[in-house]
Chain A
Amino acid sequence: MSAIRTTAKCTLVLGALLILPFVSSGQESHIGKLNGHAGTGRELYFRYCWGCHGFHGDGNGENAPYLNILPRNFVAATFKCRSTPTGTLPTDKDLFNSLVRGFNNTNMPSWITLTDQNRADLVAFIKTFSPRWKTDKAGDPITVPAEPKLTMESIKHGQELFQKLECWKCHGQEGRGDGPSASTLTDSNDQPIRPYNFAAGSRFKCGSTNEDLYKIFLTGVDGTPMPSFGDVVKPEEAWDLVHFLRTLQVNHKSPELALWESTKEGAEQVASRRIKGTATGSGIQQ
């Protein structure tokens, strides 16, 4: 009898502990027609997320010490993938999309297995960790003008911008993430971080479409060394850069790469950058 009572008491205390820090969280999220509720999101969070993101949402979960790119700290409310300008809060839709997509090259998986409602609820709950969600509004999403037609001029101009804006200082002249400053980079958690290697990867952290790439220039990746070029590039220039960056992805088929390879200069360059050899490693040349 007393054992049962003790267990009941323990459960009560534990329950109270779980609920207490978030009693006042009436936070909601709105993604299109979906309305997420923090109350439901809390249950999901303590089932799927807290192992890495931690009890307090500070990215200090049980698994955190074993992860290379540390889990997001929701208390700091600095988010990488946004459609909003640098330094502003992301929209609910941005957070929702991050849950759908997951983060390539990190331990954050895609949560495509959850329902849309589940993800909306999680977004609402994530917004209870930082007081900034009460004091600040999400930034105004940047406008992405229609993509201009792909031309060689566009690629060439993108190439000039890659030099002029000094993208190569980190990403390297061939986009391999080996520029002169690359080895010194750290993120805002003081952890070493690598610039994106265009030659090797095909997926980007914040989505892989041309539009996603465009947004990266204008919003920056907050919490990392990648700055925002929002004040310094014009929309058409950003599109030129997108077109050029696709030609650095020598192992990823794209209309941009095809066009670039159709010229003599481009074909030679791409051929020289592709890895040749066998999968086992014998005869590999770069």
Chain B
Amino acid sequence: MRVKAGYLAGLATLAVCAVIVHAMPSGGTVSGKVTYEGTPAKQKPIDMSKEPSCAKQHATPITTETVVTGSNNTLDNVVVYVSAGVPDENAPGQVVKFEQKGCQYIPHVLAFQVNQTLEISNADQTSHNIHPLPKVNREWNKSQPPGSAPISEKYDKPEFIPVKCNIHPWMHGNFAVMKNSHYAVTQGEGGFSLANLPPGKYTITAWHESYGDQSQDVTISGSETKTVNFVFKAKPY
């Protein structure tokens, strides 16, 4: 009986705690900028003459996107995420979309969570084959002719996965499969912000498809905003 009472009290405390955690203001934030030093590789214009239906969609040829930079040496398409300090989270219900348009992947880097539904669509007048090349997750390769229904897929393990289309060899993208919801992809001026972090110690990792990854530890107390900046060494090739 006593044991049972203790048990109940424990449960009640837990429930109260859960409510408190839930009702708590958003917690701390880690924000910052990703920049590079050195000279990044020059992006080459893509020759789409073999696929006229795509070529005509681009007034000027688009370039490769292995390194995308902004002003003041900022670096885009970097996935910044909490790699340690946060428990793994279940996938949100919302669907992430990956589009093939003008023989280009939009977005170039798509981050989503483990087991989150990924929807791939083809807006082009040509067939594409979507061929992600995972090492940890299972590998599949599907054809998607124009006008066909979107493909729904999921990945059940965290991984950075290069994506390509074998028919149009210049098409290249990346999936970033994340363990938790604390991630961001730098867009525009290399800026990122990871909000809603409860007080604690975290490891923040930044990943770039050409320059690899780097990590920094950060401690958050209260609802403060900590600044973490990443600098990648650019390679000229």
Identify the A interface with B (CB < 8 A).
76-78, 85-88, 132, 136, 164-166, 169-170, 180-181, 184-185, 188, 220, 222-232
B166 proximity list for chain A (CB < 8 A): 170, 181, 184-185, 225, 227
- Pair A132/B50 contact, Cβ less than 8 Å: no
Knowing A76-B135, A169-B167, A227-B129, say if A86 contacts B142 (CB, 8 Å).
yes
Indicate whether B145 reaches chain A with its CB closer than 8 angstroms.
yes
A231 CB contact (under 8 Å) in B149, B167, B168: B149
Q: How far is the CA of A226 from the CA of B167 in the complex (A)?
A: 10
A181 proximity list for chain B (CB < 8 A): 50, 166-169
B141 proximity list for chain A (CB < 8 A): 86, 220, 222, 224-228
A87 CB contact (under 8 Å) in B129, B135, B138, B144: B138
- Pair B167/A166 contact, Cβ less than 8 Å: yes
- Pair A222/B139 contact, Cβ less than 8 Å: yes
7 A-B pairs with C-beta separation under 8 A: A85-B140, A86-B140, A86-B142, A87-B140, A170-B166, A225-B141, A228-B143
B155-193 CB contacts (< 8 Å) to partner A: 166-169
Q: How far is the CA of A250 from the CA of B148 in the complex (A)?
A: 32
Indicate whether B151 reaches chain A with its CB closer than 8 angstroms.
yes
Q: How far is the CA of A86 from the CA of B130 in the complex (A)?
A: 12
Q: Which 4 A-B pairs have the closest CB atoms?
A: A87-B140, A225-B166, A227-B129, A184-B169
- Pair A88/B138 contact, Cβ less than 8 Å: yes
- Pair A227/B139 contact, Cβ less than 8 Å: no
- Pair A188/B169 contact, Cβ less than 8 Å: no
B126 proximity list for chain A (CB < 8 A): 166
Q: How far is the CA of A166 from the CA of B151 in the complex (A)?
A: 19
Indicate whether B228 reaches chain A with its CB closer than 8 angstroms.
no
Shortest CB-to-CB span from B42 to chain A, Å, is 21
Knowing A180-B50, A225-B131, say if A188 contacts B168 (CB, 8 Å).
no
B73 proximity list for chain A (CB < 8 A): none
Q: How far is the CA of A170 from the CA of B144 in the complex (A)?
A: 15
Q: How far is the CA of A180 from the CA of B138 in the complex (A)?
A: 29
Shortest CB-to-CB span from A189 to chain B, Å, is 10
B144 proximity list for chain A (CB < 8 A): 232
Knowing A188-B133, A231-B148, say if A166 contacts B127 (CB, 8 Å).
yes
Shortest CB-to-CB span from B33 to chain A, Å, is 34
Knowing A76-B135, A166-B127, say if A228 contacts B167 (CB, 8 Å).
no
A225 proximity list for chain B (CB < 8 A): 129, 131, 141, 166-167
Chain B residue nearest to A185 in the complex (CB)? B166
Knowing A181-B169, A188-B133, say if A166 contacts B145 (CB, 8 Å).
yes
Q: How far is the CA of A153 from the CA of B149 in the complex (A)?
A: 27
B130 proximity list for chain A (CB < 8 A): 227
Question: Given A166-B126, A220-B143, A232-B145, 18 other A-B contacts at CB below 8 A?
Answer: A76-B135, A86-B140, A87-B140, A132-B138, A136-B138, A166-B167, A170-B167, A180-B50, A181-B166, A188-B133, A220-B140, A222-B140, A223-B139, A225-B141, A227-B142, A227-B143, A231-B142, A231-B148
B176-231 CB contacts (< 8 Å) to partner A: none
Q: How far is the CA of A136 from the CA of B139 in the complex (A)?
A: 13
Shortest CB-to-CB span from A79 to chain B, Å, is 10
- Pair B143/A165 contact, Cβ less than 8 Å: yes
Shortest CB-to-CB span from B149 to chain A, Å, is 7
Q: How far is the CA of A164 from the CA of B125 in the complex (A)?
A: 11
- Pair B142/A169 contact, Cβ less than 8 Å: no
A166 proximity list for chain B (CB < 8 A): 126-127, 145, 167
Q: How far is the CA of A245 from the CA of B135 in the complex (A)?
A: 33
Shortest CB-to-CB span from A213 to chain B, Å, is 16
Q: How far is the CA of A76 from the CA of B140 in the complex (A)?
A: 12
Knowing A188-B139, A222-B140, say if A164 contacts B169 (CB, 8 Å).
no
Chain B residue nearest to A195 in the complex (CB)? B166
A227 proximity list for chain B (CB < 8 A): 129-131, 141-143, 166
B169 proximity list for chain A (CB < 8 A): 181, 184-185
A165 proximity list for chain B (CB < 8 A): 127, 143, 145
Q: How far is the CA of A180 from the CA of B167 in the complex (A)?
A: 9
A184 proximity list for chain B (CB < 8 A): 166, 169
How would residues 121 to 137 of chain B score, 1 for a CB under 8 Å from any chain A CB and 0 otherwise? 00000110111010100
Q: How far is the CA of A166 from the CA of B125 in the complex (A)?
A: 11
A180 proximity list for chain B (CB < 8 A): 50
Shortest CB-to-CB span from B153 to chain A, Å, is 8
